[in-house]
């Protein structure tokens, strides 16, 4: 064609051939992926090539400081690699299953965009995905709790809806508070229907003291009381006022093995005291036979350190740290246990080495400065674990809990250290504890901290409250671990041995995917009807799920315990296992036992004889026929004599509470001399004889008594 737009003739015709077109490979879509710091992630996807053949695959990263391409590899049945390049040998139209394995850079968190590129004979296809590498813990900023210091925070499911609520006390920016926050499933909201007097320098605890299946509240603080509030369908009513305790500690525990929760309270009244209050059917009275050292700015804990089936007591504060052994309700200091005295203290029991007995952790100000130390239980003797180097703190909070779901107890520590405020987690390596430096929390003192799975995703989250460098806080940190905790299996082979009011209960060990069997602990339920818990409340919900209302270890460390029940009847019981993440198994199959009336039988129909019934006598000599019993040998039966101006009939508690005991329990005799009687005092005296067998069961239906009329001279 020329400039005048004139065209020539066409050339000779030629031909060419177009073959079948090759469609590009298809990569399946990949959703956003998530892992946690220092943990690899495997991402499966599929690649399909309609033509088949060899295809090269590679990946790039938008943030190589987080994810380096050389730390990504591809695996699959038909993948080969020369160490850096990957080739997929595809079959036409057949999907290839491929896994991309990513190892993020150690110690780093953040987000990276990863782009997968497929090269099919210079035909390129790409697929991108977002990868988030999370810190092990992240603050849940959707939760707004009032910041506090000099207070306490406690997890517990008070409304029985299957998630953990929060009880918080202390000094906020505006006032002293004591508030309950309800877990709504996505956040926490203050339960405005609950009014509790505000306190600070305070401590609190959840526990089902009235065995009605919901959690009650015990707390103390300035100014100035220790009070018990009863939960009735989610509303709380003051039940018991104990004393003007302040700057102390409180704890629930069944020290007398009768199935209900007793209470221990320490602190300052007119001086420092530590008192134990016995629960008698929902009423509390001080057990004055128990003499414990008074402490303030303290921590007191119940725990069966000697595995003899009753709760012992750990007392710290005011310059001491001592363990008191429980011998069937009588407490004595175990002087073989030497712990350093501490003030401004915190303490906890926990089996960190999974050997079936409770170890001890304490923190506070000692003669050598601030300390945090773990003491290993070696058959009832304690030895300091020197292989670890925990940061010493005071004005602190310490707690055991398995945050990494590896089946052993780790340690959470907050408080004031020599380098300032801290909040740290120490990982249990099996032989020692090392700080998990991938976890970063704001340091706090005048603090309180707790483990609990608030979002029910199978791992322990952390609640931290106290005075930080930026003011008072109360923050929840979500655990992002990708390692799941599995529930333990239920115990089996339940058995019972009944001896009077004494019942020995035994079971076989549960099992768990993370915690070894010896590291499990156990929780009991006992009721007067099938499925009930009115004798011993497990503080767990459905017997099928076994969900724990409080995130803590179980009541029992080994496979047997002893319970005392003083009412005739048939009782129903079952057991659950609890692991180091405080997750409970479903309850075992229900079993039953029966308490029958097997009291001693007084000799000669209970007749007492006396050689001196003269009204003017200053003493009276009594004798009786020896009693008999189906449970105890005759010479093992014990007797005790009471006198009173009035008769209390067959009311055992009234005789023991108001009459005058003329003796301790005695045996090997059937005579007794009452001396120092006032012959000039006009009274009508009743002489009552109790008899007791080895089951420690006292019977009034067969009591022995004698009336003696005393006249003035």
Average pLDDT of the residues of the chain:
90
Task: List the one residue out of 637, 563, 630, 560 whose CA is nearest residue 596.
Answer: 630
Same domain for 270 and 354?
yes
Q: Is residue 577 domain-shared with residue 615, that is, in the same domain? A: no
* 399 in any annotated domain: yes
Which has more pLDDT, 45 or 595? Answer: 45
CA distance linking residue 476 with residue 458, whole number of Å: 16
Q: 403 with 338, same domain? A: yes
Band of residue 610 on the pLDDT scale cut at 50, 70, 90 = low
Residue 408's nearest CA partner among 363, 455, 372, 359 is 359
Beta bridge partners of 88: 55, 79
Question: What pLDDT is stored for residue 694 in this prediction?
Answer: 55
In a domain, 486, yes or no: no
Nearest alpha-carbon partner for 272 in 249, 301, 241, 238: 249
Rounded mean pLDDT, 141-156: 98
Q: Are 626 and 545 within one domain? A: no
Residue with the larger pLDDT of the pair 675 and 518: 518
> Per residue in 376-422, pLDDT tens?
999 989 999 998 899 999 999 999 999 999 999 999 999 999 999 99
pLDDT the model gives residue 604: 67
Match 């306490």 to its residue by tokens. Answer: 152
Residues in Cβ contact with 467 at an 8 Å cutoff, skipping those fewer than 6 apart? 149, 421, 444, 445, 446, 447
d(CA 255, CA 261): 8
pLDDT tens string 621-664: 777 778 777 666 777 778 888 777 777 766 666 777 788 888 88
Q: Rounded to whole angstroms, how far apart are CA atoms 163 and 353?
A: 29
Torsion sign over Cα 218, 222, 225, 229 = negative
Asked if 142 and 129 sit in the same domain, the reply is no
pLDDT above 60 for 699:
no
Where residue 562 falls among pLDDT bands split at 50, 70, 90? very high
Q: What is the pLDDT of residue 693?
A: 61
DSSP code, position 135 = -
Residues 522 and 664 in one domain: no
- Distance, in Å, from the CA atom of 688 to the CA atom of 659, rounded to the nearest integer, reads 9
Q: What is the CATH number of the domain that holds 390?
A: 2.130.10.10
Residue 291 has pLDDT above 80, yes or no: yes
Quick check: 357 pLDDT over 80?
Answer: yes
Question: Pick from 479, 501, 529: which residue ends a domain?
Answer: 479
Determine the average pLDDT of the residues in 191-199: 96
pLDDT band at 713 (very low <50, low <70, confident <90, very high): very low
pLDDT of residue 501: 84
In a domain, 99, yes or no: yes
Decide if 675 is inside a domain: yes
pLDDT at 243 over 80: yes
Model's pTM, two decimal places? 0.83
Domain range for residue 118?
A: 26-134
Residue 98, domain member (yes or no): yes
88-107 average pLDDT score: 96
Mean pLDDT of the 39-50 span: 95
Same domain, 130 and 156: no
pLDDT digits (tens, 9 = 90+) for 217-234: 999 999 888 999 999 999
| Torsion sign, CA atoms 395, 401, 402, 403 | negative
Query: Is residue 9, in this structure, part of any structural domain at all?
Result: no
Residue 473 lies in a domain: yes
Pairwise CA distance, residues 39 & 104, whole Å: 7
Q: Which of 479, 507, 528 is the last residue of a domain?
A: 479
How many domains are contained in the chain?
4
Task: State the Cα–Cα distance between residues 315 and 300, nearest whole angstrom.
Answer: 5
Q: What pLDDT digit, counting tens, does each position of 493-549 carry?
A: 999 999 878 899 999 999 999 999 999 999 999 999 999 999 999 999 988 899 999
Burial class (CB in 10 A: 0-12, 13-18, 19+), 392: buried
Residue 622, token pair as written in the block: 């009594």
Kindly tell me if the per-residue pLDDT of 709 is higher than 80. no
Q: pLDDT confidence of 1, banded at 50, 70, 90?
A: confident
Q: What is the DSSP code (8-state) at residue 587?
A: P
Among residues 530, 561, 595, the one where a domain terminates is: 595
The predicted pLDDT at position 586 comes to 97
Domain check: are 59 and 186 in the same one? Answer: no
Peptide bond into 224 cis (omega under 30): yes
For the chain, give the percent of residues with pLDDT over 70: 89
% of residues, the chain, pLDDT over 90: 74
pLDDT at 697 over 70: no
Q: Say if residue 248 is in the same domain as residue 336.
A: yes
The Cα diameter of the chain in Å comes to 163
CB atoms within 10 A of CB 3: 5
Query: Strand locations in 281-391, DSSP E?
Result: 283-286, 299-303, 312-317, 320-327, 330-333, 343-350, 359-366, 369-378, 381-384
Residue 665's pLDDT band, with cuts at 50, 70 and 90, is confident
Q: Between vectors from CA 460 to CA 455 and to CA 463, what angle results, nearest 5°?
A: 80
Beta bridge partners of 620: 674
Same domain, 274 and 358: yes
Residues 390, 535 within the same domain: no
CATH number at residue 608: 2.60.40.10
What pLDDT shows up at residue 536? Answer: 97
Listed residue (21, 136, 128, 117) closest to 439, CA to CA: 136
Q: Where are the beta strands (DSSP E) in 579-628?
A: 591-595, 608-610, 620-624
Q: Are 282 and 313 members of one domain?
A: yes
- Summarised one tens digit per residue, pLDDT across range 413-471 is 999 999 999 999 999 999 999 999 999 999 999 999 999 999 999 999 999 999 999 99
pLDDT value at position 700? 40
Q: Is residue 615 part of a domain?
A: yes
């Amino acid at each position: 064609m020329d400039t005048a737009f004139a065209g020539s003739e066409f050339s000779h015709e030629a031909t060419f051939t177009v073959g079948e077109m090759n469609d590009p490979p298809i990569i399946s879509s990949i959703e956003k992926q998530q892992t946690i710091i220092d943990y690899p992630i495997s991402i499966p996807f599929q690649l399909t090539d309609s033509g088949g053949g060899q295809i090269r695959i590679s990946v790039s990263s938008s943030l190589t400081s987080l994810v380096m391409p050389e730390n990504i590899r591809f695996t699959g049945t038909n993948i080969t690699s020369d160490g850096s390049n990957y080739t997929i040998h595809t079959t036409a139209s057949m999907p290839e299953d491929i896994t991309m394995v990513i190892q993020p850079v150690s110690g780093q968190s953040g987000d990276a965009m990863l782009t997968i590129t497929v090269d099919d004979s210079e035909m390129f296809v790409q697929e991108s995905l977002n990868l988030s590498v999370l810190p092990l813990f992240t603050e849940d900023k959707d939760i707004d709790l009032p910041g506090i210091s000099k207070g306490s925070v406690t997890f517990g499911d008070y409304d029985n809806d299957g998630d953990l609520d929060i009880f918080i006390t202390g000094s906020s920016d505006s006032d002293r508070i004591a508030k309950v926050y309800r877990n709504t499933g996505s956040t926490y909201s203050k339960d405005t229907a609950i009014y509790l007097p505000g306190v600070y320098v305070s401590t609190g605890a959840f526990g089902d003291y009235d065995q009605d299946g919901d959690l009650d509240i015990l707390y103390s603080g300035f100014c100035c009381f220790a009070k018990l509030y009863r939960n009735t369908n989610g509303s709380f009513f003051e039940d018991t006022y104990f004393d003007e305790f302040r700057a102390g500690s409180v704890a629930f525990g069944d020290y007398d093995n009768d199935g209900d929760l007793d209470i221990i309270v320490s602190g300052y009244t007119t001086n420092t005291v530590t008192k134990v209050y016995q629960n008698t059917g929902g009423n509390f009275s001080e057990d004055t036979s128990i003499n414990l050292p008074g402490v303030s700015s303290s921590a007191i804990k119940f725990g069966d350190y000697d595995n003899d089936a009753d709760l012992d007591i750990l007392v710290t504060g005011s310059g001491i740290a001592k363990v008191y052994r429980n011998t069937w309700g009588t407490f004595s200091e175990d002087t073989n246990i030497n712990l350093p005295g501490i003030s401004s203290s915190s303490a906890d029991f926990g089996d960190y080495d999974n050997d079936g007995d409770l170890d001890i952790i304490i923190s506070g100000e000692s003669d050598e400065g601030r300390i945090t130390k773990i003491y290993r239980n070696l058959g009832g003797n304690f030895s300091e674990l020197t292989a670890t180097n925990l940061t010493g703190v005071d004005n602190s909070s310490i707690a055991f809990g398995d945050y990494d779901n590896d089946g052993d107890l780790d340690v959470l520590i907050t408080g004031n250290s020599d380098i300032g405020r801290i909040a740290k987690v120490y990982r249990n390596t099996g032989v020692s504890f090392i700080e998990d430096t991938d976890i970063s929390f704001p340091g706090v003192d005048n603090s309180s901290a707790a483990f609990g799975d608030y979002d029910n995703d199978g791992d322990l989250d952390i609640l931290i409250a106290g005075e930080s460098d930026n003011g008072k806080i109360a923050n929840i940190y979500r655990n992002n671990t990708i390692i799941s905790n599995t529930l333990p299996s239920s115990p089996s082979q339940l058995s019972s041995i009944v001896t009077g009011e004494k019942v020995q209960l035994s079971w076989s060990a549960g099992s768990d995917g993370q915690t070894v069997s010896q590291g499990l602990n156990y929780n009991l339920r006992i009721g007067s009807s099938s499925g009930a818990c009115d004798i011993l409340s497990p503080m767990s919900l459905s017997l099928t799920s076994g969900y724990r209302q409080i995130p803590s270890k179980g009541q029992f460390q080994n496979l047997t315990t002893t319970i005392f029940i003083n009412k005739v009847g048939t009782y129903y019981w079952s057991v659950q296992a609890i692991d180091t993440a405080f997750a409970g198994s479903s309850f075992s199959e229900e079993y039953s036992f029966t308490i029958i009336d097997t009291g001693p039988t007084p000799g000669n129909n209970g007749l007492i004889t006396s050689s001196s019934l003269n009204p003017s006598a200053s003493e009276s000599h009594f004798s009786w026929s020896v009693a008999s019993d189906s449970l105890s040998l005759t010479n093992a039966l014990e007797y005790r004599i009471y006198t009173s101006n009035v008769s209390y009939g067959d009311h055992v508690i009234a005789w023991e509470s108001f009459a005058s005991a003329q003796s301790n329990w005695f045996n090997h005799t059937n005579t007794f001399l009452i001396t120092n009687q006032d012959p000039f005092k006009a009274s009508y005296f009743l002489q009552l004889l109790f008899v007791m067998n080895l089951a420690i069961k006292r019977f009034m239906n067969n009591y022995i008594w004698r009336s003696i009329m005393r006249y003035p001279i």
